[in-house]
Chain A
Amino acid sequence: MSEGKNYINQEAGLMSWLTSRDHKRIGLLYFYSIGFFFFIGGVLAMLIRTELFRSGNLFDPALYNRFMTYHGVIMVFFVIVPGIPAILGNIIMPLHLGARDVAFPTVNLMSWYCYVGGAILAFWSIFLGGADTGWTFYTPYSINFSGANITAALAAFVAGFSSILTGVNFVATVHKLRCPGMTMKRITLFTWSLYATAILQVLATPVVGITVLLLVMENIFGIGIFDPEMGGDPVLFQHFFWFYSHPAVYIMILPAMGIISELITTFSRKTIFGYTAIAYSSLAIAGVSFLVWGHHMFTSSQSEVAAVVFSVITMLVGVPTAIKTFNWVATLYKGSIQMQSPMLYALGFMFIFTIGGVTGIFLSTIATDIHFHDTYFVVAHFHYVMVGGTLMAIMGGAYYWFPKITGRMFSEPWARMSWVFIFVGFNVTFFPQFVLGAMGMPRRYADYLPAFESLNQISSLGSYMIGTGFLIALYTFVQGAYRGEEAGMNPWGSKTLEWTIPSPPPHENFEEIPTVTAGPYEYR
């Protein structure tokens, strides 16, 4: 907007950004730092695929194991877990509620510094020799070479505080800062999903923090907790770890589902089908997700009874997940559908996430899981859910809110091209891995039998396609931010509150706090 000030040009200088308490600026700080980590994690992914292009070793296996570990640690703890809530949630959620900021703006800034602190620890661990435990830090292996492994685990601990602070902030914001008329039944589904996620962040993340502290105590003070040589139990660590890390999977995917609800309604210009069902299924998923951690441990030597119980509860998570998917498809019925690039990402999400979802049933069924566990089938499954799901949604959301955040439009042909490369590349990379897993190829292998080679080569080629797609997307963002046409207030014809204010929004969003009289998807 040429006239007047907005949050970007309100103040100038680096310090004004580093000390900003504006939720939109903090969102952008997160965008740059998470983007930086995403780049590193992506480069590591392609190094992994390059090693696996042929049977035999290109890199030293010890180096490969570090690539594999840092790819996992960075992508999980520094990209996908904070990704949607910290970037898009921060920028958009207060706008969706008709609020001037989040409930605790200073805490919001502090959460970013926790993230940076965790990031510094993660880098420090590289100089200590590099962790090579995989992102799961399983004991007793992680006790072996304590320095780097423990520091990398501590990095996840510190970054966890960023997650907790964001969660606390969002819960408070949803409860306290809704504008007049904004009942809980009128908040957007994106906000609902962030709310469910925030509950998980607040309740689950401390567990991983405690676990890491126990690991540190064991190392420094020699208290036997997980180490069998000191009378500890290594399987206990797995219980603690998955008690956090399974809910974490939903911390990663729930906000993605929220974005999809926004995209589907806007681009089919239709009210959402089953608002209540979608909102409550987010809460249901969040609740049940605390009771399923044992499905990561069917082969771990936990009792058979436990395995059976965890299997049946896991099946229950499938139901609300399926409900959401059906609701999105039903929303398309009799809509007015426009295939802009954000919508392409939403539909791509549905395609990929459905494959990720149904293969989840293969893994919650115990008998088949015993075969697939810790093979490439699992690698393919969680990439379909977490990358195909969360990353497709984050890209769709980024394109969707790009005009609001920057005030300019991106180039649609370039955006479509990035979609083609990412979507096709993703399936080329990960679909063959289901087959590899069924054939029995274990995960975290620096080398494999020649029989697995041809499928691995297809997979590696696909990963380069994904890389190309993200470079195109980066170009699209930069080009759009500097050279794009002015977007105006509401380029997509959407109904939610953020589209009623100028793009980019002014410092405190709303000149006058709005009063709402209807739900968020009133397309009639």
Chain B
Amino acid sequence: MWWIPTAEAQSFMPPAATQIAENVDTLYGFLLISSLVSFVLLMGSLAYFVNKYRRKTDSDKTAYITHDYRLEFLWSFIPFVIFMICFAWGAKIYLDMRAVPEAALQIHVVAKKWDWEFIYKNGRKITSDVDDEGNKVPATMVIPVNKPAQMIMTSTKVNPADKKDRAVLHSFFVPAFRVKQDIVPGRYTQLSFTPTKEGTFWIFCTEYCGTGHSNMMGRVKVVSEQAFNDWVIGDESGGPKELSLADKGKEIYKTRACIGCHSLNGSKMTGPTWKGLYGSDRVFADGSTGKADDNYLRESVLNSNAKIVKGYQPNQMPAYQGQLTDEDVTAVIEFIKSVK
């Protein structure tokens, strides 16, 4: 296979850099072999019949065979069993892939037309850059090897003031990790992985997002834990340090009047306390229940009347839709997470 430019010519897959990726590849290998076998069997018998039963004279008589229930049952049942194996195997790996590991390093991924931004909890923000020759250097996320990382992703507009523009769908795809998740405007989607190999891998946008879609590439650089810690602490630019996301959220808490109604010590005010709020189970006024996750908090910040916690009054809190940027909302949620 001289034309395959990668070293993975046998499987055609890019290098696998997580355990999940290796599991996916094993399943892929099974699918490849079983489909190859069935293809050869089917096309082999087709070629054999076509060759053996070629028309000899114009008055050929043919056998009158209308059906054979035993044969028909077999060739319905055997594919069914194989398909069910593929399904169960694939669903198992998928559920593993979607399970959020404990104590994952959370990184906020912001997708916009047409670039990636990665924001760490300490406020460090990674964007694309330009090198000395004027070439674009894709935004490169740095994560430690063998540690789970969780992406919390949202899509925003380049200019929030532009009323006609819309934030659009994107999709976060790392071929080496075999994971992909769409990024939907107006909510958070999440994705996690645990890289097992050091190296630099491509991130592609795989949901069509317009003119610059094919240039919307980023990179994820997997380094040793030591190197990661050095990188996180060291600020290469030497400039003033960014506020951490939680600190930024605290500023908003104080300046945008959250403080008037939400306590941090567990006491009940006009609104529910933020102490221990993140991840807690909520009971709502209409009797339904839910978990206080990122999307719930986002919705409650932007439109508090959507879900009213039991024991509280509606219409007490202004809607912050259009008042806070996506990044502000993310910072507030990070602050809530930090109030344990």
Binding site for B on A (CB under 8 A): 61-62, 65, 132-134, 138, 140-141, 143-144, 227-229, 231, 233-235, 268-277, 298-301, 304, 307-308, 311-312, 315-316, 318-319, 322-323, 325-327, 329-330, 332-339, 347, 350-351, 354-355, 358-359, 361-362, 364-371, 373-375, 434-435, 438-440, 442-449, 451, 453-455, 458, 493, 523-524
Contact = CB atoms under 8 A, between A and B. Distances in A.
Given A307-B94, A371-B180, A140 B185 contact: yes
A140 B53 contact: no
B220 interface: no
A396 to B, nearest CB: 15
A366 B50 CA distance: 37
Given A308-B94, A337-B55, A439-B13, A524 B180 contact: no
A103 to B, nearest CB: 31
A140 B55 contact: no
Given A61-B214, A347-B46, A442-B206, A455 B3 contact: yes
A61 B212 contact: yes
Give the interface SS of chain B, mostly helix, strand, loop or mixed. Answer: mixed
Which among A301, A323, A327, A446 has the greatest number of chain B C-beta atoms within 10 A? A301
Contacts of A65: 210-211, 213
A335 to B, nearest CB: 5
In the A-B complex, the 5 residue pairs with the closest CB atoms: A440-B175, A228-B186, A365-B90, A336-B60, A367-B93
B83 A319 contact: yes
Nearest to B175: A440
Contacts of A307: 94
A214 B83 CA distance: 37
Given A269-B60, A319-B80, A439 B175 contact: yes
A325 B43 CA distance: 10
Which among A133, A143, A307, A315 has the greatest number of chain B C-beta atoms within 10 A? A315
A318 B166 contact: no
A339 B76 CA distance: 29
Interface residues of B, number: 88
Interface of B: 3-6, 11-14, 23-24, 27-28, 31, 35, 38-39, 42-43, 45-46, 49-50, 53-56, 58, 60-68, 71-72, 75-76, 79-80, 83-84, 86-87, 89-95, 97-98, 164-169, 171, 173, 175, 178-182, 184-187, 189, 202, 204-215, 303
A493 B305 CA distance: 74
Give the interface SS of chain A, mostly helix, strand, loop or mixed. Answer: helix
Given A274-B72, A332-B46, A365-B89, A439 B55 contact: no
Contacts of B207: 138, 374
29 contacts: A141-B210, A270-B65, A298-B94, A304-B94, A308-B91, A311-B87, A311-B91, A315-B84, A322-B76, A332-B49, A333-B53, A334-B53, A336-B60, A337-B53, A339-B54, A347-B46, A350-B46, A351-B43, A364-B86, A366-B90, A366-B93, A367-B90, A373-B180, A438-B12, A440-B173, A443-B206, A444-B214, A446-B213, A448-B214
A364 B88 CA distance: 11
Given A336-B60, A448-B214, A234 B75 contact: no
A272 B67 CA distance: 8
B165 A299 contact: no
A347 B206 contact: no
Nearest to A366: B94
B35 A365 contact: no
Given A141-B166, A271-B65, 18 more contacts: A61-B211, A65-B210, A228-B184, A229-B186, A234-B169, A273-B68, A275-B67, A301-B184, A330-B65, A332-B53, A333-B53, A354-B39, A365-B27, A366-B91, A366-B93, A374-B180, A435-B12, A445-B213
